[in-house]
Chains A and B, each alone.
Chain A
């Protein structure tokens, strides 16, 4: 074969269709919202005087005029059009930001609808299509919003407006209503992380100031998450929404309402099953732990939920689950631990014997956690029999020497905890395996008999239906 080896074609350029190489050729795009159609005419805005240059009486009216001017939208994909007017709007927005921050007495009743209108005109838009089929949020650059130079200032202005001392939610609630919030939530799907960050602050302020909207906001976030988990698996702003929820959960009154518990079990736990978990896992785990710190009796349903969604094939996710579980165990009450320990350690036994060394390693690190160790020690008579077979088998078989070493330490710890039980399990190991094999064989026999029966029935039936 030597002649072949030397002349064999090089493999590196064999397949030109791999995802990476296709991607490299694609230029990074900035994308604008879907609403801009090419405008034929250039846009003209009348230059207004600066607010500080007019008298105090004239300021409110000029402020309104400037708000109206800022409703004009520009096409940012066309980098050459309307340059002067784009710059004018930018400086006007800057001025408005300063004005709402520093001025007193500017917020009259008429101002509210105009502010909300201006903000709505600018931020509410249909988000453009994304390359969702191929888009890998962990590796790909996000598509950035082209109109950000203006959009950023709009968000800043709106946040300053909401935070202003003169801001009165009782007046604003006529304009910042359910429909407004719904559109705001839809924007969390924006691929631009800068925009999502601004939205997070905006939503947080609205949740804080508008008590009447709170239940509605929570319900709509529920819907977004459920749609994300069960329908699309695609939504850019999950992490941001979870971050807001983290602080919302923190503020829940005790005892927890049924609605909140349902949210935990039916919405937050299923979020663990999503493929892109890594993008929001930290925020999700934070929310879960918040719930458990509020109400320890939720520990059992939460751990059962995690076990239900435990990853079967994705080791990377499995490591995240183990991390979250350790966070939960860090705050678990011993009485709760006892309720769930058997199910839990059956899973940990499987993780410890995972052929993926990162999974095995992550699980074995639990034995370095003093609090977890103390829980295990208290319940060693239950946990040791569950863990023993896996540990014992893997201590001899695992391909990774680091894992073997960790296992050895764990076995040693168990031996010191409860040497009598340990010796008994070691002595019975062989006969237990034999019993298992016998059981397997019995199962095979049972199914063989059942299948024979099915065959016999089939023959009987086909005999039986012969027409006379």
Chain B
């Protein structure tokens, strides 16, 4: 048996390194992905003394290889001998954290963050922190960018003097003269604030936040917004106004739409962070402005938040705020010029009815729903229809049915199949809410028309839809309304339609029960076993396998078995295959 430290004669490092140096990138990549195997073959000692130095020295390679390497090293601790030796992994990762390619660098930082947890406090100060400081004062922006992500992982476990040093380095990076580094620092500011002592959050982080939030580049300012939310969560309520609110207010009115967009996008988090009082005094007017913003992107982001914002308003004044401040803006958005705004609104507007109750919904929201149901953009209508259940709970769906029908019909015939698919998925829900009569009268023909759609995904969804309808309305309804039509398609000249009959039978047999299946469906399936198209025939075999469990044994033996046996001798190999499969599954052999 090979020794615990690897077998030198079998696996000389030269051979392994040769593999890592192979001219073919793909082979190099393969070897690097199996780096742990190589390390295992070498044993921990030689991995530390030979393999890691080699990796550190030959860091110039294809980015793809470097990415794999950066990832591997993150879980290499055991292979170098455990936590006591983990710092041996730092040199190669340090080089990887300085390369140009962002993906590689990010992965190196991720691995460094991971192995930082495996360092003892002493090793952290002796090995890890110096690395962070080296990166933070690197010449080229890439190493300084990488450094930003490493402060928060080492800060909690080092002595207070080292902590002061770390804070100082982070401060320097926040005022770096390349915007790339300031962006990295801004994006890590919130995370760093979380591990700092509260006093330092106030004395160190707040000035940095204020500075980054008024950076000359909007790409930096917008990242500060997210940090601002994190910082606000850390501060006691009484300090919020003095320390962060002025900056956040300014962000909500920034001259760059990207920053305002970010504020809108983070609005729920912000609302939670600042609490009910500031929400009432500051966030409500800010939210109104965002809903009225001159850029559609901002309005759409804000519209998306309408529901959550309203839900989280303090209960005592929720209704008043919504009715007097939010609803007027919402009313304007219903006829916005931009379809993304309208569609964002349509996806949340229905849920306001639960908050506002029956009377307000009927008086104020219903007219808006009706306008959106007639919108020119299908996505808007679809979003309204897909959220009908919220309204149904509050006022019932009847109020809407007159406007609903034309909207549904139009969507059902939309030129885009994804739109048709989406409306099909809401059919069972609609059917349940509108009732069987309304359904038979108005919607049934639509459901049948989808069965012969020219897109397979629609036919498939239509089949599944029928099954759900039968679950709702029962077998008797099925027998009277849909089964005859489905079976009628078995004689269609288009083989795709004939196959649809089979797919429907597959879906319906179980919910329709033994009687209908044996009496009405089985004869049709058996008859189709002589179809001239092989695809139909092998689907007959599959259907028989599927409906077999629903039938009783006499029908199986007397009717199904002979047909399957005949199909098992078919010329077409697929037909044969499925027939034999059905025979064995149904135990008819």
Contacts and interface: CB of A to CB of B under 8 A. Distances in A.
A257 interface: no
Contacts of A36: 294
Contacts of B36: 454
Contacts of B62: 308
B538 interface: no
B132 to A, nearest CB: 21
A359 to B, nearest CB: 17
A223 B180 contact: yes
Contacts of B493: 3, 7
A84 interface: no
A4 B495 contact: yes
Contacts of A126: 218, 255-257
B10 interface: yes
Contacts of B257: 34, 126, 128-129
B278 to A, nearest CB: 26
A126 B261 CA distance: 13
B408 interface: no
B454 interface: yes
A230 B142 CA distance: 10
Contacts of A447: 34, 37
A3 B532 CA distance: 9
A453 interface: yes
B180 A230 contact: yes
A13 B416 CA distance: 9
A419 interface: no
B560 to A, nearest CB: 26
B40 A453 contact: yes
A450 B35 CA distance: 11
Given A126-B255, A128-B257, A223-B179, A14 B40 contact: no
B41 interface: yes
A182 interface: yes
B445 interface: no
B366 interface: no
Interface string B1-41: 01000010011000100010001000100000010111011
B497 to A, nearest CB: 9
A10 B454 contact: yes
Given A14-B417, A266-B100, A450-B38, A37 B496 contact: no
Given A14-B455, A126-B255, A453-B41, A227 B180 contact: yes
Interface string B523-539: 00000000011100000
Contacts of B102: 230-231
Interface of A is mostly: helix
Interface in B451-479: 454-455
B140 interface: yes
B418 interface: yes
Nearest to A9: B454
Given A16-B416, A128-B257, A129-B257, A446 B15 contact: yes
B141 A128 contact: no
Interface in A330-357: 346
B37 A226 contact: no
A226 B180 contact: yes
Contacts of A15: 417, 455
Interface in A411-468: 443, 446-447, 449-451, 453-454, 457
Which residue of B100, B180, B216, B255 has the most chain A CB atoms within 10 A of its CB atom? B100
B371 to A, nearest CB: 22
Given A226-B180, A447-B34, A450-B38, A182 B533 contact: no
Nearest to B216: A182
Contacts, number: 102
Interface string A174-207: 0000010010000000000000000000000000
Contacts of B218: 126
B589 interface: no
Contacts of A308: 62
B415 interface: yes
A179 B494 contact: no
Contact of B297 (A1, A37, A129): A129
A449 B533 contact: no
B295 interface: yes
A223 B178 contact: yes
Interface string A4-20: 10011110011111000
Interface string A283-318: 000000000000000000000000010000000000
A36 B581 CA distance: 70
Nearest to A222: B178
Interface in B486-545: 493-496, 532-534
B295 A266 contact: no
A179 B41 CA distance: 59
A454 B40 contact: yes
A360 to B, nearest CB: 20
23 contacts: A1-B533, A1-B534, A3-B494, A10-B454, A16-B414, A16-B419, A17-B418, A34-B295, A35-B255, A126-B218, A128-B295, A129-B295, A129-B297, A226-B178, A230-B100, A230-B102, A231-B102, A266-B100, A308-B62, A443-B19, A446-B15, A446-B19, A449-B11
Given A230-B102, A231-B183, 7 more contacts: A1-B533, A8-B494, A8-B496, A15-B455, A34-B256, A126-B257, A230-B180
Interface of A: 1, 3-4, 7-10, 13-17, 34-38, 126, 128-129, 179, 182, 223, 226-227, 230-231, 266, 270, 308, 346, 443, 446-447, 449-451, 453-454, 457
Interface of B: 2, 7, 10-11, 15, 19, 23, 27, 34, 36-38, 40-41, 62, 100-102, 140-141, 178-180, 183, 216, 218-219, 255-257, 294-297, 414-419, 454-455, 493-496, 532-534
